[in-house]
Structure 1
Amino acid sequence: MILAIDPGSEKTGTAVLGTDGSLVCRQIIPTGDFSCHLREMYKKYAFTHIVMGNGTNHRHLQPVAEEWIRKEAPDVTFSLIDEKFTTVEGRKLYWQYTPRHGWRRLVPLSLQYPPEPVDDFVAWIIGQRYIKSLGGLS
């Protein structure tokens, strides 16, 4: 399994993916809880790789993840991946998995923003990009 991370200043999106890119779990956490979240997710899912987007707050969270790996999970590997345009893709993915109700069905998607953060969907996309970079997912 892979833990994918969309690092943010205040909130961080995470997603656990199978090696085929399938979503196992997605979550948005306060960035301050990142280290504890790593520990909890590892206990629950025993991921073997962490992939992090190289955007907003990776310079702060990457050392936290690498230190956690050194101390608690030395078999886990780590990499960064380009997260250009993942927020736009995350919004599209949000609408695919969240049906629109009421007036939202009448307004074109191009004119709407999701009513909640999409950082967890963005993390899923980051994980899928990583798998594609390895030659998986078509």
Structure 2
Amino acid sequence: MLMGFDPGRDKCGLAVVQVQPAWQVLHREVVSAGEALARLQALWQQFGAERLILGNQTTARGWKRQLESLLPPQQIVLVDERHSSEEARRRYWDFYPPRGWERLLPKGMRVPDKAYDDLVALILVERYWRGQARAEPT
């Protein structure tokens, strides 16, 4: 069981993925930065996650320090999150197909109507699992 965490200043994305025996996304959500640690800890316990996959950009250093007070450092893995937001924006429409006249717009012109940080967290888990990004144990 892996948990993805896309840290941010205002909001954070969380995703819980079962990778064995078959890939299955069990949970995704976007939470405010203020409630992120409590929510992460609750999900960690609820799902029995083994690793926390953390994006390594924007605010990662500060979040990593806070996370190390909750989880053993060897269970926290940093993953390169470059361009993950752009990828999540493209994939948003796979999860939430456009309706009505928005279907006529090219994907690049559509504007998501809700935050998609949870999809970024999912992408971080995918990158870690596939080994496409360099993962650094902390």
Question: Common fold, TM-score beyond 0.5?
Answer: yes
> 1:22: how far off?
2.7
> 1:21: how far off?
4.3
In structure 2, how many angstroms separate the alpha carbons of the residues matched to 1:38 and 1:109?
A: 32
**Partner of residue 119, structure 2:** 121
Alpha-carbon spacing, 1:53–1:21, altered in 2? closer, same or farther (3 Å): farther
| TM-score, scaled to structure 1 | 0.87
In structure 2, how many angstroms separate the alpha carbons of the residues matched to 1:35 and 1:121?
A: 18
SS in 2 for 1:69: coil
**Partner of residue 17, structure 1:** 17
- Structure 1: state its 5+ residue gaps: none
SS in 1 for 2:68: helix
- Structure 2: state its 5+ residue gaps: 133-138
**Partner of residue 68, structure 1:** 70
| TM-score, scaled to structure 2 | 0.87
**Partner of residue 92, structure 2:** 94
> 1:38: how far off?
2.2
SS in 2 for 1:110: helix
- Aligned ranges for residues 1-138 of structure 1 at < 5 Å? 1-19=1-19, 21-70=23-72, 77-133=75-131
Identity of aligned residues (%): 29
In structure 1, how many angstroms separate the alpha carbons of the residues matched to 2:8 and 2:40?
A: 15
In structure 2, how many angstroms separate the alpha carbons of the residues matched to 1:85 and 1:105?
A: 25
